[in-house]
Chain A
């Protein structure tokens, strides 16, 4: 009797958690030709890639602290796959995607990739938006000579020139860092403080930025670091504010952006911020829209609050599809990374006329297509798609081209609104 009572009470405990739930957001649907794959299933079976389907395995962080980016990337990939399948697939083969959740653990990512490789269950692999995970996995994938793309933006995992099977259709932060410095100089600033995460992307981007500052004559007043799971930044912010920088460069990751900006603004800094990437809608939501004003960044693309807001035809067309599928615009730009990656792979399959890894790899070096953030050009031989970027500034929830903002008197309005002289 007591056992039954205990079980009932545990069930009540779980139900009480369930009862207070918010109306659940509709899960993105992947309308693939084959059965839906569970997001967190273990790679299993000895299913050989068939000629009728082109099977892609992804390892993405779909839960945990940076899941926003992972889930948006997943949506972008699924959306592109749907479009590709409706338009002939990879040389007639329908594309099927198996998504695996790394939970933000590098160890889990490696286990997933090793199992996928061991089971030979994929024709290609797309890697995580977390560069730590990509860095840990690509050597295994390259050893297996399997065609793959990484979604992270850190420079580190693309530096090894022997990783010839790995490509990228997202930004390389080390290429952006010098442009970040140019942007800050263009705003007329002489000094900058840096806050960086201790993760691969945050740390390597901050280092590249610091180096570019030294080369271009921008003084770094201090560089502070924080852990990816940190929630309190008061010590770092106090140190930063004590150096009285003209602006602050943020090289953080995922969930730290929102709380950092919120705390920084609450501690009295209302000046211009520079960011290593676009300040996604999800970050603005946590930081508060009133705190997310005046964040400048260099990036290939920006998030949009609505489809109508976008005036770039190709981007708008993608956003329309995205909205039709998921009922909202992407909340993180990694959705664009996912889309671009699939489009680059698709183009490679067309050029190759084959879906074999070797042929796809060779063909990717000939890919030059319109990406969501400009031209994706792999003909340079460095396995990187993007090399041209734009400067933006986030004001009142709108990402405005920096030049346009400056020429329309935005900077003067900023000084009036903030009471700052710089």
Chain B
């Protein structure tokens, strides 16, 4: 039983980690907080469904198109809303409020366009389930874990080893100083939000076959992803992944050894505990000082 719970905890933790990566990326590269990230997952799932199931395009092409569309939506979101507010020198809380509004806009827009029915996202892989050391789970779930881990490394390398990543971080730390050094802060935050939206769209395309596609698909898992990002250290890529996995494991073990009734309670209690005891998270990311 322990092994089954462990594998399933890692899988769901991988999902939360993937979502947490988006939150952390935005914070790390723009110093901002988005509550629309969960709904970007929903949007990604609907985009993927449109290309893959409705237009019947090959999965790889659907994947690329979804990624590209989400990237564009992310740019538009940053340029149309976030940048517009930043140019007004508003307090960070206004950005947060704007992202909450965007979250509802996405939920209602998808509802208006796709209806209220949960839609079936066809399975992506020809093999429905995979068995690893005697534990069977959906192939997309394993893929989610693998892709999350790969993205974690890639994003970390991108942010720390590339010129553009460094520029993004400096733009987040001190936009004025960054601009005086010739960094285009507007473009850097735009790319950040676009990347975060694109990552969310990947999560959406992988969650769709597991849970079906509906308008609030991303909002619940999005909250868990946020909690994972905080636990790991808000803004830290490794922290996002580790936080997500811890949350997934806790949830699964609580439900497996105790009760499913209180698994969410325990998961969010851990979030509160971290906020009080170690707000910088496991990876000691000093997010709290910047807010």
Chain A positions within 8 Å of B, measured between CB atoms, are 2-3, 6-10, 12-14, 16-18, 20-25, 62-65, 67-68, 70-71, 198, 224-227, 229-236, 238-239, 241-242, 255, 258-259, 262-263, 266-268, 282, 285-286, 288, 331
Contacts and interface: CB of A to CB of B under 8 A. Distances in A.
Contacts of B4: 234, 238, 241, 267
B109 A18 contact: yes
A22 B46 CA distance: 9
A22 B50 contact: yes
Contacts of B212: 255, 258-259, 285-286
B252 A232 contact: yes
B116 A267 contact: no
B66 to A, nearest CB: 9
A331 B118 CA distance: 11
Interface stretch (B80-88, B172-180, B278-286): B80-88
Interface string B63-86: 000000100110011011101100
Nearest to A66: B116
B169 interface: no
A231 B87 contact: no
Contact of A16 (B76, B110, B255): B76
A22 B113 contact: yes
Contacts of A16: 69, 72-73, 76
Contacts of B1: 238-239, 242
Interface string B1-16: 1001100110110000
Contacts of A226: 260-261
Interface stretch (B20-28, B145-153, B213-221): B213-221
Interface of B: 1, 4-5, 8-9, 11-12, 43, 46-47, 49-51, 54, 69, 72-73, 76-77, 79-81, 83-84, 87, 105-106, 109-111, 113-120, 123, 128-129, 136-138, 207, 210-212, 214-217, 220-221, 251-257, 259-261, 263-264
Given A22-B49, A63-B111, A266-B129, A233 B117 contact: no
A63 B111 CA distance: 8
Most buried by B among A3, A24, A239: A239
A65 B111 CA distance: 11
Most buried by A among B73, B80, B214, B263: B80
Contacts of A285: 118-120, 212
User: What 6 A-B pairs are tightest by C-beta distance, nearest first?
Assistant: A235-B255, A9-B80, A67-B116, A234-B8, A21-B113, A286-B212
A96 to B, nearest CB: 24
B214 A2 contact: no
B136 A266 contact: yes
A334 to B, nearest CB: 13
A14 B207 CA distance: 23
Contacts of A263: 138, 210
A220 to B, nearest CB: 15
Contact of B8 (A2, A18, A227, A238): A238
B216 A238 contact: no
Contact of A20 (B12, B47, B117, B128): B47
A236 B137 CA distance: 15
Contacts of B256: 234-236, 238-239
A225 B47 CA distance: 33
14 contacts: A6-B84, A7-B80, A9-B80, A13-B81, A14-B105, A21-B114, A24-B114, A233-B260, A234-B5, A259-B210, A263-B210, A267-B4, A285-B212, A286-B118
B69 A235 contact: no
A406 B251 CA distance: 40
A3 B220 CA distance: 34
A136 B123 CA distance: 40
A266 B25 CA distance: 33
A22 B114 contact: yes
Contacts of A282: 117-118
Nearest to A241: B4
Contacts of A238: 1, 4-5, 8, 252, 255-256
A229 B220 contact: yes
A337 to B, nearest CB: 17
A141 B11 CA distance: 47
B252 A267 contact: no
Contact of A64 (B8, B9, B84, B216): B216
A185 to B, nearest CB: 27
Nearest to A285: B120
Contacts of A267: 4, 8, 136-137
A338 to B, nearest CB: 16
Contacts of B106: 17
Contact of A232 (B12, B69, B77): B12
Contacts of B123: 288
Given A231-B220, A236-B260, A239-B255, A68 B8 contact: no
A355 to B, nearest CB: 32
Contacts of B259: 224-225
A54 B217 CA distance: 39
B116 A235 contact: no
A255 B118 contact: yes
Contacts of A268: 136
A266 B105 contact: no
Contacts of A7: 80
Given A20-B47, A259-B210, A2 B216 contact: no
Nearest to A224: B260
A151 B57 CA distance: 41
A29 to B, nearest CB: 15
Contacts of B69: 16, 20
Nearest to B3: A238
A241 B105 CA distance: 41
A23 B119 CA distance: 13
B174 to A, nearest CB: 23
Contacts of A12: 76, 80
Nearest to A23: B54
Given A234-B12, A255-B118, A285-B120, 19 more contacts: A9-B76, A9-B80, A9-B81, A10-B76, A10-B81, A16-B72, A22-B113, A24-B114, A64-B116, A224-B255, A230-B220, A233-B255, A234-B256, A235-B251, A235-B254, A238-B8, A238-B255, A239-B257, A285-B118
Contacts of A262: 138, 210
